[in-house]
Chains A and B, each alone.
Chain A
């Protein structure tokens, strides 16, 4: 592929080899002036690696990169930035303790008599952000603003510094719908100014909303580059997964029939300052979904059910027998399991192997004096690596080297190994790719069929609707509504959240 003049950036035959693995295999990627180019693929497909090769964070092992007709070979992100390639990451890489203006001009503050001129800097910062319709106090600390505003500041800084190519790595992962719309307005305006924009995300709706072309990677290789308008969604998913998924989300399973008798019964269960007392009944073989906005008490509900925070009121019973949920250890003894929301902080034990991570909860329950033999651990790990299709070169690999979706599956395996009766999943599909996403949903359904009781917390309403027989809606740290049967629809949930909001405000 010869670079032509409409390309602002073109990369050909990029190779990247890590010890023991080929992360990129002769990948071609080209970016036009004034286009939004979505870079898609499952976790571990090589998106991040490609971006890191383009921005100089990694040294590539082969291929050439041409920017504006000239070969470049950036050795660091700073060099790439100076050449014109700016990057904004999901976790905003700015300094939260400095002011907005300082963040924008860090390292290049306007000077007067050799001293930083705060007045000039603030004026220029204000002018710069005005281009993004952002009218905020630039002398306030960055931490005072929402992630969305921080993201815009990061974009403003990157565009101001670089100005040719802007790479957005999952910029919308922690934004709400309104903020996404604001971000997209800005992206469109930058596109009109002729920037080439690379957009990485897991949200396919957003891809169709904003992108002009799509490049799909799979297992480190290029699957293809297509115009968004000519690529139906199903075909895109097939490109990403390399197989036709029967249905993207297992929609239509809907509220399942009447479940059996109530198995777990919580009455007046709550903790001051965390979640107001609530009643909850769960049958065997039932999935109860929990919906609500961020901060509504979803995670708090999970934590007191699992004993991570001790309940200070109410009772818990299983089949009429009182349960001890005073600590995670006690809850595990009652055959509870909990996949936490923040996988990296609360879930994985990064330096330990996949095998040890899978065996951990079972071993903890058996106690230190009754070790699971190495042979049994190997069998256990192999069984779940196979059953859940955890992609790892071998079971002794430290789990921190796995991609997000595979880490999540390993944490699920940790709990399945304890053969729980009651499993709490907090955002089980957050930040993982489409393939693993569908697999986890299938897994939830099959666990439920085997008679396990599940509580699933998710911000993806379609997903909740797909597998939940009931959905509990939370607001302001209280359980405010419960939808059952045919009322379990995305519209119904949204309405319940909105209605309860109205009621509280009224």
Chain B
């Protein structure tokens, strides 16, 4: 068990180190960065802000990690956020209760995932094309639901999800942390993680070994849809309205980036939800950090790109083998010692 724990720590080390470096850099440019304050039973501070603002991408990254592990990709999550935000707003304004609204919205997200999953698993359409359909059509559907306007609402329960606090933390933070831990436990405490990795590496070999690859694939896209639904509710609750045009716009790319920064290969196979979540935090820290450091906003995207390129270079196979070379002497000593015994 300790060796498994150690392997886990080693896996997360590059992402955790990158996050730490970025946070330290931001704190140098903005001295009050690490300050946390308790007001009215709720934490305030830049760090909390990062956790809070990063909620939609973090949620999307959870589902995206699993989809990418199956050697797929889900481009539709941003559009599904818009659909789900619209559905939530439409339900609550037409007089449904909070519980009904949430259930219908989550079901909508799962349904969107089911659609993607069937296209990929049953019809064997390439994931990038299959999910492109809903990416394009999704915003149209969302506009149909909101009838072209920004649909605002005043339900305190729904608003609480976007701006309330629980245990001193903003609700969105509580939600993505809890959901992330739940999904991570689900895949790692059961055999799902291993079966998904086998499916992602070699679908045919997995099928011949008795893995229900079709069901697993569909389930992965349904999970991604569910994540997008939760993210959509949070985004809508945050602005107290559903904006079919802008909710979740381009967030699918941030989610993919978070997964890649988290070290999960787009070729499928090995994945780590925790690493993807750190990846999402890295992206949000960069966003927040650039704003706090007072750079002119026009530099934001370029600085963000430069930092991400650096992280990707550190993770590239070439750099990895260079690191392996640098740490080789020690590793070999250890081995010969063992062999001598």
Contacts and interface: CB of A to CB of B under 8 A. Distances in A.
B208 A346 contact: yes
B208 A352 contact: no
Contacts of B189: 371
Interface stretch (A151-159, A288-296, A357-365): A357-365
B206 A349 contact: yes
A34 interface: no
A47 interface: no
Contact of A363 (B191, B202, B204): B191
A402 interface: no
Contacts of A364: 195, 206, 209-212
A359 B191 CA distance: 11
Interface residues of B, number: 28
B191 A361 contact: no
A368 B190 contact: yes
Interface string A1-33: 000000000000000000110000000000000
B331 A414 contact: no
Contacts of B211: 329, 360, 364
Given A19-B331, A371-B189, A347 B270 contact: no
Given A20-B335, A348-B202, A352-B269, A371 B191 contact: yes
B167 interface: no
Interface string B180-211: 00000000011110110110011011111111
A356 interface: yes
15 contacts: A19-B324, A19-B328, A20-B335, A308-B208, A332-B210, A347-B205, A349-B198, A349-B201, A349-B205, A349-B206, A356-B197, A360-B198, A360-B209, A370-B191, A414-B209
Contacts, number: 87
Nearest to A363: B191
B210 A361 contact: yes
Chain A contact-residue range equals 20 to 34
Interface in A83-114: none
Nearest to B4: A374
Contact of B210 (A20, A329, A359, A371): A329
B210 A365 contact: yes
Contacts of B1: 374
Interface string A246-271: 00000000000000000000000000
B332 interface: yes
A359 B197 CA distance: 13
Interface of A: 19-20, 306, 308, 328-329, 332-333, 338, 340, 345-352, 356, 359-361, 363-372, 374, 414
Contacts of B198: 349, 352, 356, 360
A64 B337 CA distance: 30
B200 to A, nearest CB: 8
B210 A328 contact: yes
B207 to A, nearest CB: 6
Contacts of A332: 209-210
Interface of B: 1, 4, 189-192, 194-195, 197-198, 201-202, 204-212, 269-270, 324, 328, 331-332, 335
Contacts of A346: 204-205, 208
Given A328-B209, A371-B191, A374-B1, 20 more contacts: A20-B332, A308-B207, A308-B208, A332-B209, A333-B210, A347-B208, A349-B202, A349-B205, A349-B206, A351-B197, A351-B269, A352-B201, A356-B198, A360-B211, A361-B209, A365-B210, A368-B191, A368-B195, A371-B189, A414-B209
A367 B216 CA distance: 12
Nearest to A333: B210
Contact of B192 (A352, A368, A374, A414): A368
A52 B335 CA distance: 26
Contact of A351 (B190, B191, B201, B204): B201
A328 B212 CA distance: 9
Contact of B194 (A329, A333, A363): A363
Contacts of B209: 328, 332, 360-361, 364, 414
B190 A371 contact: yes
A349 B209 CA distance: 10
Contacts of A352: 194, 197-198, 201, 269
A102 to B, nearest CB: 31
Contacts of A348: 202, 205
Contacts of B331: 19-20
Nearest to B212: A329
Contacts of B195: 363-364, 368
